Amino acid sequence: MNINPIVIAIPVYFILIGVEIVYHRVHSVNSYRLKDAMTNINCGVISQISGAFIMAILFGAYTFVEKNWALFDISPAWWVFPLTFIFFDMMYYWAHRLSHQINLFWAAHSVHHQSEEYNFTVALRQSSTQILWTFMFYLPLAMTGIPPVVFISMQGINLVYQFWIHTESIKKMPRWFEAVFNTPSHHRVHHARNPKYIDKNHAGTLIIWDKLFGTFVAEEETPTYGVTKPLASWNPLWANFAHYFDIWQDMKQAPRLKDKLLIMVKKPGWLPDSMGGYRSPQEVPFRYKKFETSTSLKLNFYIVVQFLVIMAGTLTFLYYLNIMMNSQKITAALIIVFSVASFGLLFDNRPWSQWLEYLRILAVPLIFLYATGGLNPSLGMILIAGTYLLVSAGWFTHAKRPVHSLTPGTGH
């Protein structure tokens, strides 16, 4: 079974999300929208699925560096854990800060900032490619001699801590706590698209790094959440690659090779003078409207149930990843990613999304049979797969509705 702290915490995350939804309903707080919350979680699903493969490679790289180039031979004694926690948190601050300052890094990290709401599901909205750019920041821990088991534990604790700060339910913590630790108030600033808040409060667990390095701003007026160029889509795959596409479009128009390279490494929004110069963040329009699309209640209910089925499959995949054959891992990962992308496309009302969903309905039971029984599935598994196929196909045929056009937010 996978003992990654992040994976183990997933059921607790969903319980807390449920508690927050009930709390907000009781207090008439409108911070949850179905499509936004599901897209946040679906981005997290893709991040965990891709991470199951990417982290194995990067963890191997960390282990190699620690084994061959470590300056000190450090055993995992009790005192190593708190010191590594502080060391890791400082390196996280710099990796996070530069993810807002380097356009290529921002292309990955922007996924986490795209939601126009602020609730616990936003904590799960993680990038699938960010670790490729930021992993280098943690290699000094390996070169110091921090054992891999200590590194992975502190990484997990750092990320698990950050879950609870993604909420509007907690206004302020005690003053001493706000002075030292990252809190919901501090992190709401970080997720705001208001110009005064942009690129502030990069802390993971300890807000002292922002105060020490000059990037701290206290929460004052109510933040407006999201990115300065709204994503305007519920597709979690597109969410992961939208800003990369924007960079590519800018690079194609840049007249010189030097400018093309600078577009990747300069601050997001930078352009050469020949293309108009830096595009600074604008104040949020007074009548700004959040992105939304129109789908029927029947279709929404169908997607939610299918989403819950895929979530159960995802948890099973993550928990038993270490005992699965590579072919089973790959096929299961592909169908999970295919499924959450299909849900997003249905919410987006893409003209071809209905046919893609029929293909998914056919693929899911086939992959299920292979993942549970290889090439010789049991009769019971065949009956379960067949029932899923027939029920899902019939239900979707009844639930789907004529295609509607997108209703993008204003603020592009």
Quote the CA–CA distance of 365 and 384 in Å, as a whole number: 8
How high is the pLDDT of residue 372? 75
Give the percent of the chain with pLDDT over 90.
Answer: 83
Residue 411 lies in a domain: no
Residue 225 lies in a domain: no
Residue 238 lies in a domain: no
Number of structural domains (the chain) is 3
pLDDT at 212 over 90: yes
Asked whether residue 30 falls in the same domain as residue 146, the answer is: yes
Residue 75 lies in a domain: yes
In tens, the pLDDT along 123-157 reads: 999 999 999 999 999 999 999 999 999 999 999 99
Range of the domain at 256: 244-275
Asked whether residue 149 falls in the same domain as residue 50, the answer is: yes
Give the mean pLDDT of 167-179: 96
pLDDT at 29 over 90: no
Asked whether residue 70 falls in the same domain as residue 149, the answer is: yes
Asked whether residue 303 falls in the same domain as residue 270, the answer is: no
In tens, the pLDDT along 39-77 reads: 999 999 999 999 999 988 999 999 999 999 999 999 999
pLDDT at 412 over 80: no
Asked whether residue 157 falls in the same domain as residue 19, the answer is: yes
Residue 128 lies in a domain: yes
Residue 223 lies in a domain: no
The last residue of a domain, from among 192, 213, 234:
213
How high is the pLDDT of residue 401? 58
Residue 151 lies in a domain: yes
Asked whether residue 316 falls in the same domain as residue 370, the answer is: yes
In tens, the pLDDT along 290-332 reads: 999 999 999 999 999 999 999 999 999 998 888 888 888 999 9
Asked whether residue 249 falls in the same domain as residue 180, the answer is: no
Residue 350 lies in a domain: yes
Asked whether residue 382 falls in the same domain as residue 320, the answer is: yes
